Amino acid sequence: MNKQNIDNILKVLKKTYPEATCALNFGSPYELLVSTMLSAQCTDVRVNKVTSELYKQYNTPEKMISLTEEELGGKIKSCGFFRNKSKNILSTSRELVEKYGGEVPHTMEQLIELPGVGRKTADVVLSNAFGVPAIAVDTHVFRVSNRLGIAKGTTPHKVEMELMKNIPKSMWSDSHHYLIWHGRRICKSRKPDCEHCPLAPYCEYFNHPEEIKS
C-alpha cells in the first residue's frame, strides 16, 4: 500500500475514533501488567470486572505474592486459563520484587524476560503505562492490518514490524487503539461491516476480495 493511502487511513481512523484508548482499567503500571496478562483469550470487560475486586487488596507485587497459586486462581478463574495465569502472575510478581524493587521495568528487553510476558503484553505496558511509542498486535490489530493492507504478515511480530515501518512513530500508540476499536466495531472477524466502513475506499479486503480471501 502506498504512503498516501496509509496517511488517509490514519486520518480517517483518528477522526472516527477520537476517544480511542486502552480498555483495561488500571491505576499503576503493575495493575496494567497483570490486567494485560489476564486478558489473553479473555475480554477486557471480564478482566475489568475481576480486577475491580482483585486490586482492592492485591494491587502491588508484594501483596500479590502473599497469595498461593490456588488462591489467586480462584480469584481470576472466570478469565480462563487461570492455573497458568496465576502461576505466571505470581512468578512475575516475585521477580519484580527481587530484581526491580517492586517496580515494573520500562524496556522491552526487561519486560519480555518476565514469566508469561510476551511482546504484545510488553507493548501494551510500555505504551499505556510509560508513554513509550509501541504497537501491540492483538487479534484485532492483526486482522484489520492485514485486511486493510497497511501491514501484511503471517505472525503478530511480522505485522508489528510492518506497522512500525509504515506508520510514523509519533502515531504508533494511537494507531494501536484505533485499529483495535475499528476491529471491534466495524471490521469484525466473521462479518465485517464493509458497507458502513469509512475505510472502504482504501481497503484491499473490500476492493480486491478475490486476492485477500483466497
138 counts as catalytic? yes
Residue 158 to residues 137, 142, 153, 162, Cα–Cα distance (Å): 10, 10, 5, 6
Instruction: Name the residue among 18, 177, 171, 12 with its Cα closest to residue 4.
Output: 12
123 counts as catalytic? no
Report the pLDDT value the prediction gives residue 1, as an integer from 0 to 100.
Answer: 85
From the list 120, 123, 152, 188, the catalytic residue is 120
Report the pLDDT value the prediction gives residue 210, as an integer from 0 to 100.
Answer: 65
Q: Of all helices (H) and strands (E), which one includes residue 32? A: helix 29-38
Query: Tens digit of pLDDT per residue, the chain (214 long)?
Result: 899 999 999 999 999 999 999 999 999 999 999 999 999 999 999 999 999 999 999 999 999 999 999 999 999 999 999 999 999 999 999 999 999 999 999 999 999 999 999 999 999 999 999 999 999 999 999 999 999 999 999 999 999 999 999 999 999 999 999 999 999 999 999 999 999 999 999 999 999 876 655 4
- Encoded amino acid at 75, one letter: K
Q: Is the CB of residue 33 less than 8 Å from the CB of residue 115?
A: no
Residues in the annotated binding site: 187, 194, 197, 203
List of residues 6+ apart from 8 with CB closer than 8 A: 201, 202
**With b meaning 16 or more CB within 10 Å and e meaning fewer, what string describes 142-161?**
bbbbbbbbbbebeebeebbe
Report the pLDDT value the prediction gives residue 211, as an integer from 0 to 100.
Answer: 61
Cα maximum dimension of the chain: 56
In DSSP notation, 46-90 reads: HHHHHHHHHHHH--SHHHHTTS-HHHHHHHHGGGS-HHHHHHHHH
- Encoded amino acid at 104, one letter: V
Helices (H) and strands (E) in the chain, counts: 13, 0
From the list 7, 14, 87, 138, the catalytic residue is 138
Where do the domains of the chain lie, and which CATH numbers do they carry?
3-20+136-207 (1.10.1670.10), 29-130 (1.10.340.30)
